[in-house]
């Protein structure tokens, strides 16, 4: 993507997600009460429901028509489809999902994990979630790790969710084929993988000995 056309993200203006919800709670059909912005019942009760509302990524990207938005929606859905998560775990997945690749565009770099983590940490500080920094930083830092992470951890759930979307569904990680297809239809690619290829090619020309700096063993 040409630097002149790189979208401007609302990074410093974001941080009001918790402020907007405050202590307000919303009851769901299971009788539990969740923060309004994350009022999800457990997935055991809505196993194949597609999540279509992620206010944070919409706040970050604004009205820009950006393929990253749909990538976030797809990979968050692929994370949620792997098991049962409480409201806090889902919120962590959403936050990590919104920021995990953002450094590609905010810093115009293919070595994007450090700037993506920095943006996530700034958001967590502004929303008084500093105690989540280590876990969410690790989720972002290892989401392209080749080896498996600890089974059942959010780090591994997140790695697998991104792998499903990055591979265009070639790796399914135990998620049903029809659900993957439905999510992809709901949130089309919108040029996201083409954008990745463009950035990767530009980086490789300049750094031929380190073509994929985000891969972790």
Question: pLDDT, tens digit, for every residue of 1-59?
Answer: 333 344 456 656 454 333 332 222 333 333 433 333 333 333 333 357 999 999 999 99
Tokens of 39: 């009022």
Give Cβ neighbours of residue 180 (< 8 Å, ≥ 6 apart).
78, 164, 169, 172
pLDDT tens-digit series, residues 77-136: 999 999 999 999 999 999 999 999 999 999 999 999 999 999 999 999 999 999 999 999
The pLDDT confidence band at residue 151, using thresholds 50, 70 and 90, is: confident
DSSP for the chain, written as a single string: --GGGPPPP--TT---HHHHHTT-EEE-TTS-EEEGGG----TTTSTTPPP---HHHHHHHTT---HHHHHHHHHHHHHHTTS---HHHHHHHHHHHHHTTTHHHHTT-S--HHHHHHHHHHHHHHTT-GGGHHHHHHHHHTTTBSS--STTSHHHHHHHHHHHHHTTTS--TT--HHHHHHHHHHS--TTHHHHHHHHHHHHHHH-TT-S-TT-B-
Amino acid 47: pLDDT: 53
Name the pLDDT band for 201 (thresholds 50, 70, 90).
very high
Question: Per-residue pLDDT for 67 more than 50?
Answer: yes
All residues at 6 or more sequence positions from 124 whose CB lies less than 8 Å from its CB, including other chains: 95, 130, 132, 133, 136
Tell which residue, 10, 4, 119, has the closest CA to residue 64.
10
What phi, psi does 145 have (nearest 5°)?
Answer: -70, 140
Lookup: tokens for 162: 């991104």
Indicate the pLDDT class of residue 217, thresholds 50, 70 and 90: confident
> Model pTM?
0.78
Q: Which residues pair with 16 in a beta bridge?
A: none
> On the CB side of 215, how many CA atoms lie within 13 Å of its CA?
8
* Higher per-residue pLDDT: 9 or 66: 66
Q: What pLDDT digit, counting tens, does each position of 162-194 carry?
A: 999 999 999 999 999 999 999 999 999 988 888
Measure CA of the first residue to CA of the last residue in the chain; give whole Å. 28
């Amino acid at each position: 993507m040409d630097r002149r056309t790189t979208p401007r993200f609302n990074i410093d203006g974001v941080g009001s997600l918790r402020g907007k919800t405050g202590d307000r709670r919303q009851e769901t059909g299971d009788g539990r009460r969740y923060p309004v912005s994350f009022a999800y019942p457990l997935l055991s009760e809505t196993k194949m429901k597609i999540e279509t509302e992620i206010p944070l990524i919409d706040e970050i990207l604004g009205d820009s028509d950006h393929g990253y938005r749909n990538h976030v929606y797809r990979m968050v859905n692929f994370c949620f489809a792997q098991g049962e998560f409480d409201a806090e775990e889902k919120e962590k997945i959403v936050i990590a999902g919104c920021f995990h690749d953002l450094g590609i565009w905010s810093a115009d770099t293919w070595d994007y994990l450090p700037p993506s983590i920095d943006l996530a940490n700034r958001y967590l500080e502004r929303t008084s979630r500093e105690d989540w920094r280590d876990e969410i930083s690790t989720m972002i830092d290892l989401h392209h790790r080749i080896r498996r992470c600890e089974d059942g951890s959010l780090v591994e759930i997140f790695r697998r969710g991104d792998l499903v979307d990055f591979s265009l569904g070639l790796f399914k990680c135990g998620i049903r084929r029809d659900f993957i297809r439905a999510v992809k239809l709901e949130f089309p690619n919108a040029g996201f993988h083409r954008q990745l290829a463009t950035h990767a090619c530009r980086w490789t020309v300049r750094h031929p000995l380190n073509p994929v700096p985000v891969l972790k063993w």
